[in-house]
Amino acid sequence: MAASEQTTDANTNVPEYEYPDVNTKPFHIGSFKKEWLSRLKPSDYSYEEADEDAFHANFAREMGVSAETMAELKAVCSVDSLRCHPEDQQPDTEVVPPDPTLRTLVQRKERQDHRASLKKIKKNRHDLYADELERLTIGRKPETVTDMVPEGEIILTINVYYPAVFDKFNYIRPHMTLLMTGSHSLAELRDAVCCVSDLQVCGEFSNTPDVAPEFISKDHYKSAFFFFEGVFYNDMRFPECQDISSTTIEWAKSHNFPSYSQAKMEDTLLEDLKVKVGFPYLYCHQGDCEHLVIITDVRLAHKNDCLDKNLYPLLTHKHRVLTQKCAVCHVFIGRWYTTNDQFAPSDPCLFCDKCFRMLHYDAQGNKLGEFLAYPYVDRGAFN
């Protein structure tokens, strides 16, 4: 459909800044990929290790230099010529060297000395987790060729931010980061976003605690949309889905706003999108749970990427929030929220599933005493 449009002005698909270092002008992801591929040799983005001797022979031929010169060139440009320590001494690269002169090292030393003086060598949980994710994802190869991310495929990095909570001013906006390929659909992005409001259980279940966990919001309120560059992409996969964007579109029309259009989430691949990199867009679900979505990076796949298609969408960062623990055992995450509860130390009160049942029901599962119980999903449930 837009093919003819794109060929008339191909340069619009070479991303340019709209605001320098903040966000780009809109461009078509698939055409951007084509622009890159038309400039590169297939060997430039191939996953294969190329032959070094062939590279050198080729270089010598193209530059018209002798074998002798080539050997000299290799020696001059070798990594060895960058070695900053005697050949027979392996330095300890894990510590900042003593008496550094580089400003980066002076600062790093100061920080490390300061940290050591605090004596609390506690490893940040976030750091541990980042290591974990990194180990899982980098350089993974699939078992079969058919599961391989094709060479020259687009890899997008997408940040999905949690709904703004203003209880704490925070520089680090909590978000999750996903890697996806250009051939993923927006519906797949939607399914990869984990938000507690999808798991929110509505209702009081003190009489039937075993029924509650089945009743999660995702099954009830399936409608959702993404909003990119004037287009609402609605999730219409299920019969009970509604086009929840139509209200907004109608409203915009009646208020003389620029007209918006609609498309289906499940029919739209990421490479079909025309978007700005770095620009905040919208994901809305559960009627009013709104997330900012920023595509922070678009590039060609590289041999060091996770190359197993099945592992995408790939979670590479997840903000970990503090979890509310059970008021009795202080160990497990709260699963039940009670009020008017004669057994509870406070009102309302949080219990883990085990403590809740032990305290409020007999061995046969009969309710003891009076209280109201609501299933509770912690914000840190996805940690």
Q: Which residues bind Zn ion (CB under 5 A)?
A: 195, 197, 289, 326, 328-329, 332, 352, 355
Output 232 or 279, the one with its CB closest to another protein. Answer: 279
- Binds 210: which of another protein, Zn ion, none (CB < 5-8 Å by kind): none
Residues in the chain: 383
Are 357 and 339 a contacting pair, CB within 8 Å?
A: no
Output 7 or 81, the one with its CB closest to another protein. Answer: 81
Q: For another protein, which residue of 53, 68, 167, 240 counts as binding (CB under 8 A)?
A: 68
Q: Compute the least distance from the CB of residue 360 to Zn ion, in Å.
A: 12
Residue 177 phi/psi, 5-degree rounding, is: -120, 130
Query: First-to-last CA distance in the chain?
Result: 42
Q: Does 240 bind another protein (CB under 8 A)?
A: no
Are 310 and 222 a contacting pair, CB within 8 Å?
A: no
User: Which amino acid would we find at residue 42?
Assistant: P
Q: For another protein, which residue of 10, 50, 57, 202 counts as binding (CB under 8 A)?
A: 50
Q: Compute the least distance from the CB of residue 151 to another protein, in Å.
A: 11
Q: Does 287 bind another protein (CB under 8 A)?
A: no
Query: Which runs of consecutive H residues, i.e. helices, occur in the chain?
Result: 3-8, 29-39, 42-45, 52-63, 67-76, 103-117, 125-137, 186-192, 217-220, 246-254, 353-360
3-state secondary structure of 116: helix
- Binds 326: which of another protein, Zn ion, none (CB < 5-8 Å by kind): Zn ion
Q: Does 52 bind another protein (CB under 8 A)?
A: yes
Q: Compute the least distance from the CB of residue 263 to another protein, in Å.
A: 22
Output 140 or 218, the one with its CB closest to another protein. Answer: 140
Q: For another protein, which residue of 30, 151, 153, 157 counts as binding (CB under 8 A)?
A: 157
What is the 8-class DSSP label of residue 14?
S
Q: How many CA atoms lie within 13 A of 246 on its CB side?
A: 8
Non-local (6+) Cβ contacts of 367 within 8 A are 206, 207, 360, 361
Output 19 or 257, the one with its CB closest to another protein. Answer: 19
Judged by CB under 8 A, which stretch of 31-39, 198-206, 246-254, 347-355 contacts another protein? 31-39
Q: For another protein, which residue of 61, 125, 253, 302 counts as binding (CB under 8 A)?
A: 302
User: Quick one: which of 177, 173, 277, 263 has its CA closest to 227?
Assistant: 263
User: How many angstroms separate the CA atoms of 371 and 337, rounded?
Assistant: 10
Q: Does 32 bind another protein (CB under 8 A)?
A: yes
Q: For another protein, which residue of 280, 287, 365, 369 counts as binding (CB under 8 A)?
A: 280
Output 72 or 267, the one with its CB closest to another protein. Answer: 72
Cite the beta strand spans of 183-264 per DSSP E. Answer: 224-228, 231-234, 261-264
Output 73 or 359, the one with its CB closest to another protein. Answer: 73
Q: Compute the least distance from the CB of residue 195 to another protein, in Å.
A: 19
